[in-house]
Amino acid sequence: MRFIIVVLVALMPLPSFAEATGSGFFIADDGYFVTNFHVVEGGRSFLIRTVNGKEYPAWIVRTDQANDLAILKADGKFTPLAIDDSLNVKRGAKVATVGFPHLDFQGIEPKVTEGIVNSLSGIRDDARYFQISVQLGSGNSGGPLINIYGNVVGIVSSKLKAEEVYKQSGDLIQNVNYAIKSNYLRELVGSIPVLKDHLVSINKKAMKGTEELTGKAEKAIGLIVSIDATEVQPVQPSSETKADKNEQTALDVEKQKQDEIAQYKQKQDAERQRLQAETLKGFVSQGGLTWMPVNESRGSYEQANAYCANTAIIGQTGWRLPTKDELSSLYSSGAMNGHGWALNYTWTSTVGGLFGHYYIDLRDGMAIWFNAGANCSVTCVHKSWR
């Protein structure tokens, strides 16, 4: 009978720090990011902070509440992890995760823990989950469960509520944790046709050890911050709790924690706004296009064209050189004045003469073409999103 009581204990999602942060990882180099649904539930705007300290605004693309999964998107270029087939996972297989538990105590540096797959099913033999011995803490939710090849075989999601088990059975069960199998993520990914073409192939060569495994995972993980999530209300004393010194101390600690959470979120929001303003400095909108400020130069049309076509500028791809008419129109409008542009000879994509391409002198608007290469400045344009 004791065994039955234990397995009936409800699955407990890992509470992220102040219900505002969790872990996650990129699955495509163009910014598709995975975490748990309960990490982003109730949030209206999100930031992803990578290990190098850079922050990227993100938005929800798909959710699967039943399987506690969410896919977000951020603009930029990232290092993704491959998603392996969870049917290949064997009981006893070595696994690890890297994430951001207990920011309030352990700090913002990522933490790695390792263990094994204890069982191929979760609580009450739930086939969606692995039971794992990988040690987890609040804030690990959404992190990748990776195998010895560095591929994702699960998504860290929950742990057994040990205190409830103890109350009902008298047994203190520790370090019983769960991860959603990766095949449920693969199903969710399959609902986003454009994403399937951006996934990376699984690695078939085993990592040399935990250090190499961690190094691979660190490049792909991120701290997810739900900026506008509903704040946790301070704990109120129940009618059964004595209003003694210990209770007051607990309430004081809780209030201090809430204050620190509010300050943290205010700081993150201010930093996000500052970074956004700094990133867009010099960019202008004109003629239905967003224009990159002139701060690059290239020695030939081919080099200039390749720069625009192959560079992720402020996290966006799909840039191109302007035509002669577009650049002439920009000059006539004066929209670039006062934005710190270097006004000189600037490449266009319009062919002039037999072989050369036109460039515009942004000091006087004159259009000239070259048969030979010339060292001219570059501005790239993008269909306006601002």
Catalytic positions, written as ranges:
38, 68, 141
Q: Which of 190, 205, 183 is nearest to 88 (CA)?
A: 183
CA–CA separation, 103 vs 252, rounded Å? 19
CA distances from 282 to 18, 303, 337, 344 (A): 37, 22, 10, 16
- In the block, which residue shows the tokens 């094994």? 116
Whole-number Å distance between alpha carbons of 247 and 241: 8
CB-based contact 173:156 (threshold 8 Å): no
What whole-number distance in Å separates Cα of residue 126 and Cα of residue 93? 19
Residues 359 and 369: their CA atoms lie apart, in Å, by 6
Instruction: Outline where 242-355 has alpha helix (H).
Output: 245-279, 301-310, 324-333
* Residue of 329, 369, 375 lying closest to 349 (CA atoms): 369
Residue type, 177: N
List all residues 6 or more positions away from 258 whose beta carbon is below 8 Å from its beta carbon: 18, 231, 232, 234
